[in-house]
Amino acid sequence: MIKRAHDEAYQILNENKMKLHELAKYLYEKETITGEQFITILNKPAEIPTTIQ
């Protein structure tokens, strides 16, 4: 049961990796985020990186 939950969580995070990077970048630059800004980032199409940093 734990292995299945871990695998599911890993899959969800992996599928949303670009969104997580966008949120991290925003927080790195601004340090804080409102709920509205968070939802805006989540709902817009993921940016495809031109370079890996």
List, for residues 5-23, the tens digit of each pLDDT value: 999 999 999 988 999 999 9
pLDDT surpassing 60 at residue 1: yes
Contact yes or no for 18/46 (Cβ under 8 A)? yes
Long-range Cβ pairs for the range 45-52 (8 Å, 24+): 46/18, 46/19, 46/22, 47/18, 47/22, 48/18, 49/18, 49/21
CA distance 8 to 29: 30
44, pLDDT greater than 90: no
Listed residue (9, 18, 3) closest to 26, CA to CA:
18
What is the pTM (predicted TM-score) of this model?
Answer: 0.65
